[in-house]
A = this chain, B = another copy of it.
């Protein structure tokens, strides 16, 4: 056990950095002339205090981290940060006379940091700017965390075949040990993320949003989070131009950021467009959008252009696990919302800020299945599974298989637990899928026009667990539960 103390020390360092990010809502608070700015200051002070305590208190436990430490670190970071993210919500909401329970605040924080974008709050338009800024900014921070997780940590740990995600293109990730340098390796990706963020905020501003809205919606868009500062979500703007801008950035953010980095560095985009996963992701999103648009038109709900606008925006929004809405799509033919929710399980690339199982895993499984079918007929015809120009080794396929199984088991187990609380079937299964995929809006009681406050505290904790498991790609968390982990 004692060799896990260095992990706590690193956690302290990360908490320190996290405390600094609270200066963003503090700045918003001061800029807007809110009277409740001291809530933010107090939260910063507490977080910095705990961080310092861990960092200095454990200064004798400075050591290089091993893979098994990584498993613990990642799980701890995602469990502990939401406490400190929830703290200012508790303080500030209390100050404005709309106190939140700890369950609600922790849920909101996990929802933000995992970029799920579910909310238990209503009357969003009347919240202080600093609160909305923090709600949306949490997604942006979470997005940065996800990029390290997906590109620097999970591959090192070998979670669910994620070694593959380094792909041919991803030059920057070469370390095989967990060292503080892993932060360095993620800098290239963060560069792309920041670039996208600037471009997106400027585009929203140029498209007609005020600066605070442009910034907050940028946070929600490039992180594929979808938390909005408006009750009407993206429908607040009623603007085809702004919807198109969001559409483009959601599509862009659903691709592997490592490919952008390499393309920019090399100065050409051949590798990007040749990447099988990117092509499959974009084809699925756009093809799905056209299909739903066609359905909406054929069923006589909208004129062709309106059907295209609404179908494309909502399919891309939900399937990229963003979750913006401009209308209550649960009123559409039942095929559409179910289709969108299922797509959100597969239609983002590894190395993006999206949730779900990721397109690359789906591709590997489909190729493996096709190979098996051929072998049923021609037992001797054994071709290896390929991804791009590389042969996918058996152990990669096994990792992906194990991942899928644990993913399925998680979804079914959490849904069954919700059924035990007598929640209806549609809400139970959809709320779990929407949480584990980090999508946000579900079906039934938790559709895009509703919010998660309709759920009981216990049900919210189940969703919170679902969001965390989904974001941690399940296995890294499950590994903690194996006896082998605690043996040395």
Contact = CB atoms under 8 A, between A and B. Distances in A.
A43 B71 CA distance: 67
A475 interface: yes
Interface in A337-364: 338-339, 342
Given A334-B425, A479-B373, A67 B416 contact: no
A373 B475 contact: yes
A36 interface: no
Given A376-B158, A377-B479, A482-B377, A369 B339 contact: no
Interface in A280-333: 295, 333
A402 B401 CA distance: 10
A477 B373 CA distance: 10
A342 B419 contact: no
Contacts of A231: none
A475 to B, nearest CB: 6
Taking the full assembly, how many copies of this chain does it contain? 2
Given A71-B377, A365-B405, A375-B158, A422 B333 contact: yes
A366 B159 contact: no
Given A369-B402, A475-B376, A443 B425 contact: yes
A412 interface: yes
Interface in A361-405: 365-366, 368-379, 381, 394, 397-399, 401-403, 405
| Secondary structure class of chain A's binding surface, majority of residues | helix
A446 to B, nearest CB: 14
Contacts of A405: 365-366, 368-369
Contact of A475 (B372, B397, B478, B484): B372
A68 interface: yes
A335 interface: yes
Interface residues of A, number: 55
Given A342-B412, A376-B475, A377-B67, A425 B426 contact: yes
Contacts of A34: none
Nearest to A488: B378
A482 B374 contact: yes
B419 A376 contact: no
Contacts of A378: 68, 484
A476 interface: yes
A158 B479 contact: no
A120 interface: no
A157 interface: yes
Contacts of A478: 373
A406 interface: yes
A1 interface: no
A479 B373 CA distance: 5
A195 interface: no
A269 interface: no
24 contacts: A67-B377, A68-B378, A71-B376, A158-B375, A158-B376, A333-B419, A334-B422, A334-B424, A335-B419, A338-B419, A365-B405, A368-B405, A369-B405, A372-B399, A372-B401, A372-B403, A372-B475, A373-B402, A373-B478, A378-B484, A394-B394, A397-B398, A425-B443, A426-B426
